[in-house]
Amino acid sequence: IDHTELVKRVVVALDVRSNDNGDLVVTKGDQYDVREKDDDAVTGRGGVRNLGKPVSLAARYYDEGADEIAFLNITSFRQGVIEDMPMLQVLEEASKSIFVPLTVGGGIRSYADPESGKVYSALEVASRYFRAGADKISIGSDAVYAAEDYYASGGKKTGETSLETISHRYGVQAVVVSIDPKRVYVASPECVDKKHTVVSLDESQAGPNGERYCWYQCTVKGGREAKDICAVS
């Protein structure tokens, strides 16, 4: 062999959430809005956009040659994973017939059960996913919070973040960071705090007012809250 070539890998990401009937479906958002447009509805919005069942779609992509499949529970920040039986069942069923790495994300954080008051650590939440058949877990909002704390402390690690505790127990290969970045357009690099990495854009990517520069802002809670931290930096 004269040289080594990188192999392309196809990773399928499925956004999963409950529809209005309480069933888990794969959906697709438009600027984080996953509901169909309905001019006859009072709000102009209809039911949750339904692209199919998570397990059957995952099996189809596996049969078509996907190298990895990720289930992203996009409503899990509103509830606890421990009680989220439908999502755990999706993992259990998918792992029976899909033999590529399964990644799951959404709600992997420490939280307190509102009824019992019991506190679950991020490690306990991740462990429940692993027992259900996940090969990797994906951390989004909690990774952004950890980065904020890291910078605020002057670059000191605590060993207590979800990233650190889960990777220490299961290995770094089992933890993936997934960031929802928001493009912030600016007129020039001088308009941006130096802690952010500014990216130049070609004409086809220019902002709404013709801006040719931007930086990528991290968001949390499913894109609903922006943080003053740069995804690139």
| Contact predicate 54/106, CB 8 Å | no
Question: How remote is the C-alpha of 86 from its chain's centroid?
Answer: 18
Task: Give backbone dihedrals phi and psi of 227, rounded to 5 degrees, phi first.
Answer: -120, 155
Q: Which of 33, 63, 113, 180 is catalytic?
A: 180
Instruction: Determine how β-strand 225-230 pairs with β-strand 213-220.
Output: antiparallel
Q: What is the dihedral of CA 223, 20, 90, 175, to 10 degrees?
A: 10
Q: Which residues pair with 134 in a beta bridge?
A: none
Q: Which of 15, 67, 135, 202 is catalytic?
A: 15
CA distances from 162 to 111, 112, 122, 147 (A): 12, 15, 6, 11
| Contact predicate 136/171, CB 8 Å | no
Residue type, 25: V
Active site residue 67: no
Active site residue 193: no
Residues 48, 56: Cα–Cα separation, whole Å? 18
85-97 and 122-132 helices, crossing angle to 10°: 40
Q: What is the DSSP string of 152-197?
A: HTTS---S-SHHHHHHHHH-GGGEEE--EEEEEEESSGGGS-TTSP
Task: Give backbone dihedrals phi and psi of 44, rounded to 5 degrees, phi first.
Answer: 80, 5
Residues that are catalytic: 15, 180
